Amino acid sequence: MSMDKRLGQRYLPYGANYLDWSDMHELREAIEHGVLFRYQTEGESVASRLERTVARRLGARHALAVHNGTEALRLALISTRPRTGDLVHIPAVTFVAVAGAVLASGLVPVLVDVDQSLSLDPALLPSGAERVIVAHMEGTVAPLPQGVPYLVEDCAQSLGAVLPDGRHAGTAGYAGTFSFHHNKVLTSGEGGLVVTQDADAWATMRCYHDHGSARVPGCYPTWNADAHYGENFVTSEGVAAVQCQQFRHLDELLAGLERHYAVALDNLPARTDLRVLPRAAGDVKTSVRLRWESRELRDAAVAALTARGIANWTLGKYLLPQHPVLTGRRSLYADGFPWSLAPEGPLMLSRDGFARTRDLLERTLCVPLSPELGEQEQVLAVKALRQILEAV
User: Looking at the structure, do residues 173 and 314 belong to the same domain, yes or no?
Assistant: no
pLDDT for 124 equals 98
Lateral strand order in the sheet of 274-276: 274-276, 287-292, 364-368
d(CA 60, CA 76): 15
How high is the pLDDT of residue 42?
82
Q: How far apart are CA 288 and CA 372, in angstroms?
A: 16
CATH of residue 307: 3.90.1150.10
Is residue 27 a part of any domain in this protein?
yes
107 and 171 assigned to the same domain: yes
Same domain, 128 and 189: yes
Q: How far is the C-alpha of 297 from the C-alpha of 304, rounded, in Å?
A: 10
Q: Report the domain count for the chain.
A: 2
**Whether residue 124 sits in one domain with residue 55:** yes
Q: Domain residues for 241?
A: 14-248
d(CA 57, CA 34): 29
Is 162 within the bounds of a domain? Answer: yes
Residue 345 lies in a domain: no
Of 128, 133, 130, 141, give the one whose Cα is nearest residue 111. Answer: 133
**56 and 176 belong to one structural domain:** yes
Q: Give the span between the Cα atoms of 132 and 124, in whole angstroms.
A: 12
5 assigned to some structural domain: no
Q: What is the pLDDT of residues 61-104, one digit of tens each?
A: 999 999 999 999 999 999 999 999 999 999 999 999 999 999 99
Picking from 229, 248, 267, the residue at the C-terminal end of a domain is 248
What pLDDT sits at residue 7?
43
342 inside domain: no
What residues are paired with 290 via a beta bridge? 276, 365
Q: Is residue 382 included in any domain, yes or no? A: yes
pLDDT of residue 10: 54
My answer on whether 277 and 222 are in the same domain is no
Pick the last residue of a domain from 219, 248, 277.
248
Phi, psi angles (nearest 5°) of residue 206: -60, -40
Instruction: Judge if 241 and 288 occupy the same domain.
Output: no
The series of mean pLDDT values per 10 residues for the chain, 392 residues long, is 45 86 96 95 93 98 98 98 98 98 98 96 97 97 97 98 98 98 95 98 98 92 96 97 98 97 94 95 97 98 95 96 97 98 95 98 96 94 96 96
> Do residues 232 and 358 both lie within one domain?
no
Q: Provide the 3-class DSSP secondary structure of residue 107.
A: coil
Q: What is the DSSP letter of 218?
A: T
Distance CA(50)–CA(63), nearest Å, equals: 9
Q: Are residues 237 and 291 in the same domain?
A: no
Residue 236: inside a domain, yes or no?
yes
- 381 and 244 within one domain: no
The secondary structure of 73-103 as a DSSP string is HHHHHHTT-PPTT-EEEEESBS-THHHHHHH
- Distance, in Å, from the CA atom of 250 to the CA atom of 233, rounded to the nearest integer, reads 25
Residue 343 in domain: no
pTM comes to 0.95
Residue type (1 letter), 164 = P
Neighbouring C-beta atoms of residue 11, cutoff 10 Å: 13
User: Quick one: 202 and 222 in the same domain?
Assistant: yes
Q: Are 124 and 377 in contact (CB under 8 A)?
A: no
Spatial contact of 349 and 124, defined as CB atoms under 8 Å apart: yes
Residue 207 · residue 201 · CB < 8 Å: no
Helix or strand or coil: residue 229?
coil
Q: Is the dihedral of CA 228, 233, 237, 240 positive or negative?
A: negative
Other Cβ atoms closer than 10 A to 116? 12
Domain end point (choices 248, 279, 299): 248
Instruction: Using DSSP, state whether 7 is helix, strand or coil.
Output: helix
- Whether residue 138 is found in the same domain as residue 283: no
Please list the alpha-helical segments (H only) found in the chain: 3-8, 25-33, 46-58, 69-78, 97-104, 199-208, 237-247, 250-267, 295-307, 324-327, 355-362, 375-391
Condensed to tens digits (0 to 9), the pLDDT of residues 175-223 reads 999 999 998 999 999 999 999 999 999 999 999 999 999 999 889 999 9
